[in-house]
Amino acid sequence: MKNTTKNMILAAMFIAIGLILPFFTGQIPQIGNMLLPMHIPVLLCGLICGWKYGLIVGFILPLLRHTLFGMPILLPTGVAMAFELATYGFVIGFLYSHSRWQCIIALYRCMIVSMIAGRVVWGIVMTLLISVSANPFTWQIFLAGALLNAIPGIILQLVLIPSVMLTLHRTGLVPFHSNTKYQTEV
């Protein structure tokens, strides 16, 4: 019960951070689109609270932000982001909690897989949502949106999230450890 309450409070905090962070880059939308400020709290939530909370926070965050502030635009961007961020939260939380060792190397592996999975889901959802419009969602649009325009945000995430997790480990708040259920006896 104590852990559930703690995770619910942390998830609410990550939602609040995800609502606020885009204001720092919102004055210049091109920078916000490149730095991906809502991705950071979702990835951290999946790592710290687990995949269930990461999935929920990831899905709710862009929809709640649209409801409260009108950004991101709901269709197709907000809906596609909801599925993308839900995938990030789920994949990173699931893989990290099932990693044999919870350390920086496992963290990077889980981040990279979750980033790829989230962008693939984003592309699929965008394709489905845009297929009803006159403008097709091409491979070039996918590459630009999922990779080329997002390189600064990807770099920021690959530097910031491990740094935060390492700091939390050093303070003892979120310790790295081995996952004993996957260890073999010697």
55 in a structural domain: yes
Total domains, the chain: 1
CA 165/CA 170 separation, integer angstroms = 9
CB count, 10 Å around CB of 136?
10
Task: Confirm whether 48 is domain-assigned.
Answer: yes
pTM, to two decimals: 0.88
Whether 1 is covered by a domain: the verdict is: no
**Residue 183 falls within a domain, yes or no?**
no
The encoded tokens of residue 117 equal 């999975």
Answer whether residue 184 is part of any domain: no
Token readout for 130 is: 């845009």
Coil, strand or helix at 178: strand
CATH assignment of the domain containing 162: 1.10.1760
Structural domain that includes position 47: 14-178
Q: Is residue 86 part of a domain?
A: yes
Look at residue 96 and tell me if it is in a domain: yes
Q: What is the pLDDT along the chain (186 residues), one digit of tens a residue?
A: 678 999 999 999 999 999 999 988 867 766 767 788 999 999 999 999 999 999 999 999 999 999 999 989 998 889 999 999 999 999 999 999 999 988 999 999 999 999 999 999 998 998 888 877 667 767 677 766 666 677 888 899 999 999 999 999 999 888 887 665 544 333
Residue pLDDT, tens place only, 123-138: 899 888 887 766 776 7
